[in-house]
Amino acid sequence: MNDLIADALRIIFIGIGATAAMDAWVLLLKRMNVPTLTLAFMGRWLGHGVRGKWMHDSIARAAPVKGELALGWIAHYVIGIAFAALVVAVYGLAWIKTPGLLPALSVGIGTVVAPLFVMQPAMGAGIASSRTPTPGMNRLKSLANHTVFGFGLYAAAAVIAWIL
């Protein structure tokens, strides 16, 4: 297998592993009765977006989109893979062979910009959840989720580097 394909596969598996770590965290939150965003809303947002409507007063009140939950899950993992590629773009290919925690955490935490300043406003929650009943708690949950994602980036890369 050539190096380009091997590196691409590593990035894909790192992204999948990090996203799965974040999903495990969200599952733990749900078991503790902490409300979390359903990925169906991400799918609904994307489904409306491809039809030209990116901004919503409330994504929960927007018309459902056929297959929105599956679309949300697929998008969630594709975004996780893209963020894994971002670590490599910022820190270089050497990181996937000898991963460090700080690069993974810096990118993981940095990715919180996406929900706070893109997805939440577009879904009707306002910038950084400002239009929700508990904006501070929602910001903290977003930061925690993306911090866990950063740890997941490191853990997945470390496991893959150890295996290979």
98, pLDDT greater than 90: yes
Mean pLDDT for 99-105 is: 97
Q: Residue 72 is part of which domain span? A: 3-163
Structural domains in the chain (count): 1
81, pLDDT greater than 80: yes
Mean pLDDT for 111-125 is: 95
- CA dihedral 26→27→33→37, nearest 10 degrees, is 50
**What average pLDDT does the chain have?**
95
